[in-house]
Structure 1
Amino acid sequence: MALGGGASGGGRRGRRGRRGPLTEINVTPLVDVMLVLLIIFMISAPLLTVGVPVELPKTEASAVETDNEPLSVSIDQQGAIFIADSETSFDDLAVRLLTEAGGSDKASERPVFVRADGRAPYQAVARVMARLSASGFTKLNLITDTAPEA
C-alpha cells in the first residue's frame, strides 16, 4: 500500500554518503618547510660574516666566548688591511674602527677579531695590533683555525 517507498529511506542514504568540502588547512607541510629553511639559515649565517678570504694559521686554541658584537679586522697575504670587507689604509685604521665601535668610550668594550693570513708578514700583523692597542682597544683576539687531530 505504500506509494513511492517512503519507509525505505533510500533518499537519506544517498545524502549521508556525500561529504562536504574540506575547510581546514593542513599546516604540517608548512611547518616542515619552515624548519628546513630555519636549519639552512642557521648553518649559512656564520659563513656570511666576513668577506675577505684569508688562510688562517692552525693552532690548538679553543673558541673565544664574547657578549658584545665583535669588530673584524683582516690582513691578507700581501699585508693589506680590511675592516669587515672594505679595504683601509694603515693611517685610517684607528679612525674607521673607532667609528665602527661607536666612539672612543665604547672602544674598550668591543672585542676586535684580527684575522691574519698565515702567510702575511709578521710586521703587518704586529703594526695593526699595536695601532689598535694604542687607540684604546683592549680586547684584541687573533683568529686561527684549530689544528687537525694527530
Structure 2
Amino acid sequence: MPSNRGYGGRSGRRLKNEINVVPYIDVMLVLLVIFMVTAPMITPGLINLPSVGQAAEVPATPIEVQIAEDGSLAVRRREPGAEYEKTASQDLISKVQSMLTADTPVVIAADGKVPYESVMKIMDELRSNGVTRLGLLVNQQANAGPLNK
C-alpha cells in the first residue's frame, strides 16, 4: 500500500492559512446579548428645556459701513427705512462708536471695484478702536465668479 507522503516526506495534512472566525462570532453574540439585557436598565437623563421667557435675546441690529466705488463712506443701522449718513474717513470711527453697543456687529459693504487694501484699512481702523464683532457684507449669486464655471 503506498503511503500518502508528499512534499518530500511530510505528512499528508497541510496547514490552514485561514483565520478561524467562529470564536469571534461567539464573543460578539455574547456581547450582543449583554447589551440587549442592560440597555433597558439605563435611565435616561433629565433635560431642562428653556421656556419662552428664557429664550435668547434677538441679536442686535448691525451697523453697516458702506464704501462706494469712489472711496466715499456712509454709515447706517441696518433697519428697514434707515438712511445712509455720508461721513468723512476721519469721522468714521466716532460715528460708528456713537451707534455702537457692547454686542452690536459692524458689517462692511464695499463696492466690487473698491481695492482690497481700502477695505482692510477700514477694518483695521475699526478693530483697533474697539469694534470686536466685524464682518463683510456680500451678495451671494448662483454661478458667480470664475471658480464656479
The alignment's TM-score, normalised by the length of structure 1, stands at 0.50
The alignment's TM-score, normalised by the length of structure 2, stands at 0.50
Q: Quick check: which has more Rg, 1 or 2?
A: 2
